[in-house]
Amino acid sequence: MVASVVELLAGIWAVAIAWSYSPWYWYGCVTPWGCIHADPFLPLVPYLGAILVVCAAVSLVGFRLAFIPGGATSAVLAGVTGLIAALSHIPLDVPLAMFSADAAVLSFWAFRRKGVLSEQANPMNLPVFG
């Protein structure tokens, strides 16, 4: 559940950041952080964010296999936003890169975790005396 919520927030944040940068990206270098028009990775961010939102919604429903593409997309999003932050010196992308990396780790951890009781820990497996 926590991994799904973190994935969902990272996806929404990625789409919001890309949407807020898009006028500056397409219409010139008027950002307070300098020119981001030369950044070739910025158009990937909203698509990665949308994929992440879909994976998070599917994993919230209970389909555990959705954590695999969600974790992979989170890792790619962390790398892309880290590259954007390194190339364009945009400070808002650094927290998104760290948040996406956290979402990737939580997603892979949530996929590995099994919610079933072992046979020994099952409360119906009590010793029978008599």
What would the pLDDT profile of 35-49 be if each residue is shown by its tens digit? 555 567 777 888 888
Q: Which residue has the tokens 């940068």?
A: 21
Alpha-carbon span 113 to 48, nearest angstrom: 25
Q: Is the confidence at residue 27, as pLDDT, over 80?
A: no
| Confidence category of residue 54, pLDDT binned at 50, 70, 90 | very high
| Confidence category of residue 65, pLDDT binned at 50, 70, 90 | confident
* CA atoms lying within 13 Å on the CB side of residue 82: 11
Alpha-carbon span 70 to 7, nearest angstrom: 7
What share of the chain in percent tops pLDDT 90? 5
Instruction: Work out the mean pLDDT of the chain and round it to a whole number.
Output: 77
- Please state the length of the chain: 130
For range 7-27, the mean pLDDT: 74
